[in-house]
Amino acid sequence: MGGTRFPMAVLRKCARPMLSSVFITGGLSTLRAPARVAPAAEPVAVPVASRVPRLTEDPENLVRINGAVQVGAGLLLATGRVPRFAALALAGSLVPTTLAGHAWWKEKDPERRAQQRTQFLKNVSLLGGLLIASADTHGKPSAAYRARGAVSTGRKQWNHARHDASHAVHNATDAVRAWPATVQHSALAGRH
């Protein structure tokens, strides 16, 4: 039964802090010095922020928010608290970070272009790991699977109840149809 559960539990406990460490350190760095990354983030962050009601369009505040999400979600993932949600939050923060910070296709210098492409692909790899972590149910069935099972069980129970009710109605109908003959037979039996 639990042959793979123990090793997977240990793997999760080790892998989550490893995966989240880059977000925690990067987020702290951004929170300490947002002006360092705000200019690079502006072309991506401001257009995204303009589509979200009540979200600031100030690049420094946007990178602070992103840094705070990375620290908070990174700590949640590292400690195993709401890890699926934390992984999704980190994935969401990683997309604008990657597009703003590692736009290798804009680089003219071949060496700089290669470095940025490597960083871009590293972030794409991290995104893949986060998506896997966001789908990890600890070996338990997902909510969607359990919901489908509940619907299936409900359908079976409904069909059984409908079948039983049909039989009960059929038996009652037969009893009602037979009742006049039974009453008549009883009345005749009482005369003798």
pLDDT of res. 163: 84
Give pLDDT, residue 174.
76
- Structure tokens that stand for 167 in this block: 């039989």
What is the pLDDT, as a whole number, of residue 168?
A: 79
Residue 1 has a pLDDT of 46
Locate 180 and state its tokens: 């006049």
pLDDT at 185: 64
pTM, 2 dp: 0.69
CA distances from 51 to 44, 58, 89 (A): 12, 13, 18
Per-residue pLDDT at 111: 96
Question: Averaged in consecutive runs of 10 residues, what is the pLDDT profile of the chain (192 residues)?
Answer: 68 92 96 94 90 91 95 96 96 92 93 95 96 84 71 83 81 75 63 60
In 33-104, which ranges are continuous DSSP H helix?
A: 34-50, 59-79, 83-101
